[in-house]
Amino acid sequence: MSPDETFKPLGIISILFAWIVIGILLFKFKGHKGMSISQHAAAFHGSYLMMAVMESLALPVFSLFMVKWFAPTWDLPNFFMIGMVVAAAGILIAGWIPDTAGWQRITHRILAYGSYLLFIPLGFTFYVLADIPLVARIAWLVALGYMIWCLVFFLFKRKTAYKYHLYLQAPYLGLFHLAILTSTYLR
C-alpha cells in the first residue's frame, strides 16, 4: 500500500491541536502535579467538555494520518496500524469517561493506561522495522527509553510516581509525538 500524501499534514495538525488544548487545559483549569491530564480535565465541567471535544476531533484525524500516510510510508505491518487505531480508540473512549470515581475511574484508567502502554511495543516495532534517519532514530530511542523508565518507575515507585504524575505523563506523550513528527518531517 503506497502512502497518500494528502494525509501527511494530518499528523502535525492533530498533534498541535491536541497540545494547544492540553496547554489551555493545564493553565486555565489549574490542578497540581499529582493530577494526570485526565484528572485536570475531569475537575471541571468546562475542562471535561473541552478535552472530550478535542479528543473526538484529534484522535480520528491522527488515526487517519497513521493508517493512510505513516504506516504505508514506512511499510509497516498491519498489526502496527491496528495497534495505533486501538490505542487511539482507547484514549478517545477514555476521554469520554471522566477520571472521577468508581466504575468511571476504573474504566478510564484501563483504557488510558492500556493505550499508553501500547505505545511501547508500537514504537519499538517502528524503530526496528523502519529505515529512518539518525535524528529520528535518536528521537525514538529517547522516547522509548523514557516510556520504559516511566513504566518501571510506576511499577516500583508507585506512590512517588503518582505524586508527580503530570510531570511524568506530559513528556511521555510529548516524546512519543515528537518521535512521530521527527520521523515524518526529517526523512
Cα–Cα distance measured from residue 19 to residue 25, given in angstroms and rounded to the nearest whole number: 9
Q: What is the pTM of this model?
A: 0.92
Torsion of CA 123, 159, 167, 152, to 10 degrees: -20
Closest-CA residue to 67 (of 128, 11, 24): 11
Tens-digit pLDDT profile for residues 121-174: 999 999 999 999 999 999 999 999 999 999 999 999 989 988 999 899 999 999
In this predicted structure, the answer to whether residue 180 has a pLDDT above a threshold of 90 is yes
Other Cβ atoms within 10 Å of 156 Cβ, number: 9
On whether the CB atoms of residues 176 and 147 are closer than 8 A, the answer is: yes
Domains of the chain by residue range = 5-185
Cα–Cα distance measured from residue 12 to residue 72, given in angstroms and rounded to the nearest whole number: 17
Tens-digit pLDDT profile for residues 50-105: 999 999 999 999 999 999 999 999 999 999 999 999 999 999 999 999 888 899 99
Other Cβ atoms within 10 Å of 108 Cβ, number: 22
Query: What confidence score (pLDDT) does residue 33 get?
Result: 87
Rounded to a whole number of angstroms, the CA Rg of the chain reads: 16
